[in-house]
Structures are given as C-alpha cells and as structure tokens.
Amino acid sequence: MKSIMGSLAPPLKEYCLKNGLSFEKVKKSPMCGDGDTRLYIQHVDFSSSMDFIDDSEPAEILISVYRTKESGAVLINEGKNAKKYLSA
C-alpha cells in the first residue's frame, strides 16, 4: 500500500530533522493530500466528547507541503502550533 506521503516524505523528513520536529509524530498525525504535489499534516483534538471531525471546527493544519509545478521544488510551511504538537 502506498503511503499518503508519497514522494513528499523525504523532504518532509529532512525538514523535521533540521527544525526540531519529530518525523515519527508527523507520520502518526492525521493527514490528507495526494503525496506528490500537496500534503497537509493536521491536528485533531479528540479530547472533546465527539470522536469525529465536526465540519464547524476543521482540523488544524500543522504543516503544509507543496511541490511547485514550475521547478519541482518542495515548499514547506509550518503552522503556528506545529512545534507544540510535533516537537522532537
């Protein structure tokens, strides 16, 4: 089975190592995307009484990863709470 991280996993792992984030925590986090051009690492607070994501409160994006069409470069944007939930 192909990982949802796809070809974006190696640059994301390198980013985590350079920026004090745990790649293991990233791998265990909820995520969505196609793994080739975009990937979103999310945080979902399941401590509330609901065991699902409520559309009125979308999951927080901790890290956004994009591959540009022009150059194929990978851009990684760290959200404000990424270190809080993903620190090594």
Q: What is the pLDDT of residues 51-86, one digit of tens each?
A: 555 566 678 899 999 999 999 999 999 999 999 999
Q: Give the Cα separation of 88 and 85 in Å (integer).
A: 9
Of all residues in the chain, the percent with pLDDT exceeding 90 is 67
- Band (39; pLDDT cuts 50, 70, 90): very high
pLDDT band for 44, please (50, 70, 90 cuts). Answer: confident
Q: Which tokens sit at 2?
A: 């192909």
Q: What predicted TM-score, i.e. pTM, was given to this entire model? A: 0.84
10, β-bridge pairs: none
* Residue in the structure block whose two tokens are 């194929």: 72
CB 7 within 8 A of CB 38: no
- What is the model's pLDDT at position 3? 76
